[in-house]
Amino acid sequence: MEGYLGETPVIIAESAFKDYTPSDWALYYIEKYGGFDGAYHKDWVLDQVARILNGAEITVVKATWENGTENYRVSVGESDQYHEWVRNLKDGEDGPDTYGYEEGIAP
């Protein structure tokens, strides 16, 4: 988009997101991205929710344009708890690597 000025980090504790719980963030991702068609996009949403519910860090930046348009861009990191959850999921009751786990593709 023309006139893009860039991104500014947002301090979540001082933003509209300050009271968000992990459940709120999970619902945010489902509402914002859950409607995209395609299994790989759905896999990505599920993966982001799994990361959130397993303690991954949330990062927010505000993108701005010369015409005054602004939007928030939220990203989810990783955590040891998330990686352990995926490992345990893949190593199901039937043994190591018996379950396939897809991180998906962002819409």
pTM over 0.75: yes
Instruction: Confirm if 77 and 65 have CB atoms less than 8 A apart.
Output: no
Q: What is the mean pLDDT of residues 40-47?
A: 97
**By three-state DSSP, how is residue 102 classified?**
coil
Q: Where are the domains of the chain?
A: 4-90
* Rounded-to-integer distance, Cα 102 and Cα 100, Å: 7
Backbone phi, then psi, for 31, in 5-degree steps? -65, -40
Mutual orientation of helices 39-53 and 22-33 as an angle, nearest 10°?
Answer: 170
Which pLDDT belongs to residue 47? 97
- Give the CA dihedral 97, 38, 49, 13, nearest 10 degrees: 140
Higher pLDDT, 51 or 100: 51
Which pLDDT belongs to residue 96? 76
Q: What is the mean pLDDT of residues 10-38?
A: 97
Which pLDDT belongs to residue 1? 66
